[in-house]
Chain A
Amino acid sequence: MTDKHDLTLTINGRAHAVSVDARRTLADAIREECGQTGTHLGCEHGVCGSCTVLLDGVPVRSCLMFAVQCEGKAIRTVEGLAEGEELHPLQKSFMKHHALQCGFCTPGFLMLAVGVLEREPDISDEDLVDALSSNLCRCTGYANIVKAVRAAAVELKAGP
């Protein structure tokens, strides 16, 4: 039994016309139908946070939503962070503070951090650590991720 839906997913401002089964997760549709493979899939059941994207500005686990639920929503993925050759301040901060090693979790952490800082630019250290505990990283031990996000928060608040 299939239940096909024709819909438009808007990813980083670009419209993608897709035809998906209802069972297709947003994560799979972003990667397979729309070819945006920057969003990574780890556990596929909402534990690891690798697939975190912004949905109307809110960080969500894209493996826990169905693509059919996302028509008309503004989806942002890691591909939308840089402006041309210029990396987003958080991407630069991740490089500077060694907040990644293998990089598998990085797109999820970046989208989580961007979403949190855009919504709560004055977030406390305690709340930031709580928010970042959403995602798993098996390389860094988290300390450098927290450092990178904290440093980027200061920079983003100061403005360009």
Chain B
Amino acid sequence: MKPGSFQYHSAKTIEQAVALLAEVAPMDGRVLAGGQSLVPTMAFRLAQPAHLVDINGVEGLDRLAVEGAELAIGACVRHAAFHRPVIAGPLGAILTTVARHIGHYTIRQRGTFCGSLAQADPASEWCLVAVTLGASITAQSTRGRREIAASDFIEGIMTTVLEDDELLVEARLPVPPDDTRFGFVEFSRRAGDFALAMALTSFRLEGGVIHDARLGIGGAENTPRRIGEAEAALNGQPPGADAFDAAATAVAAALDPMEDAGTSAQYRRELAQCLARRALESAAS
């Protein structure tokens, strides 16, 4: 259980990091941020990168700030930064709830928000947050910077559109109106384990009916995604059992869940249906 040999590079600036990546990416070089997924993978020798570019010392990447209507999250912001609300209002509160479900306390002290996005594990809480809330992701390389919508960013299981020489430097979450309601529910077999499914919802109430409904499911399919059919079943309806059941039923109908040795697709489908309803009830309460 020891990682294989690699060459270690430590960057102090973003420019230096992307220059190093441009040099070593073609020789199987990778970024080392929190390392809480990469290093175990290396210990199993499932990953044997020839080079690691450590970005932990890059100045400014730990930046977490509200800029206009967005929450900007730098590449080295740890999960634990969200243990307390990072912004007043409903967004800060829901991120706190979500963060508690990520791995364990010690893992959360090192692992990073952006690292989770780049890893794109189907059971990643932050990937679900990014996709459901419409995050924008900034990638940088020596060829320049580009913005990628979260929904376009994740291509499949642990696969993103990031090029090998690109560094995910920042993710930005839109700050929702203060009357936005959120609900997040996750199920895993034991504390800190990977989610078998999770649901995140947000909506607003106007004139007693639901507006701007978002409902995302993670952990069930290869990638997290919003379920449009469920959102359509919510918008314009008063919050309550009828609308929530209709949305949850729409989730079950829309999903094409993953299967593994311990969990059938049908189990995940029913689990996601249940979690969607609970997340909506939590948001409404």
Which chain B residues (82-133) contact chain A, with CB distance < 8 Å? 100, 104-107, 109-110
Which residues of the partner chain A approach B7 to less than 8 Å between Cβ atoms?
Answer: 1, 3, 22
Chain A binder among B38-46, B197-205, B206-214, B265-273: B38-46
Q: Does B191 lie at the interface of the complex (its beta carbon under 8 Å from any beta carbon of A)?
A: yes
Which residues of the partner chain A approach B109 to less than 8 Å between Cβ atoms?
Answer: 58-60
Q: In whole angstroms, how far apart are the Cα atoms of A66 and B44 in the complex?
A: 15
List residues of B whose CB falls within 8 A of some A CB. 1-8, 10, 35-36, 39-40, 43-44, 50, 52, 54, 56, 100, 104-107, 109-110, 191-192
| B104 in contact with A134 (CB, 8 Å) | yes
- Return 27 A-B CB contacts under 8 Å, by A number: A1-B7, A3-B5, A3-B6, A22-B6, A22-B7, A22-B8, A22-B52, A45-B39, A45-B44, A46-B40, A59-B109, A60-B106, A60-B109, A61-B110, A63-B43, A64-B36, A65-B35, A66-B8, A68-B8, A69-B10, A112-B106, A131-B105, A133-B104, A133-B191, A133-B192, A134-B104, A134-B105
Q: In whole angstroms, how far apart are the Cα atoms of A1 and B2 in the complex?
A: 15
Which residues of the partner chain B approach A65 to less than 8 Å between Cβ atoms?
Answer: 35, 39, 110
| A25 in contact with B5 (CB, 8 Å) | no
Which residues of the partner chain B approach A58 to less than 8 Å between Cβ atoms?
Answer: 109
Which residues of the partner chain A approach B40 to less than 8 Å between Cβ atoms?
Answer: 45-47, 64
Q: In whole angstroms, how far apart are the Cα atoms of A5 and B44 in the complex?
A: 23
Q: In whole angstroms, how far apart are the Cα atoms of A65 and B191 in the complex?
A: 23
Q: In whole angstroms, how far apart are the Cα atoms of A125 and B50 in the complex?
A: 44
Known contacts A46-B36, A60-B110, A66-B8: A112-B105 contact under CB 8 Å = yes
Nearest CB on A from B114, distance (A): 17
Nearest CB on B from A124, distance (A): 12
Known contacts A5-B8, A23-B2, A130-B100: A64-B105 contact under CB 8 Å = no
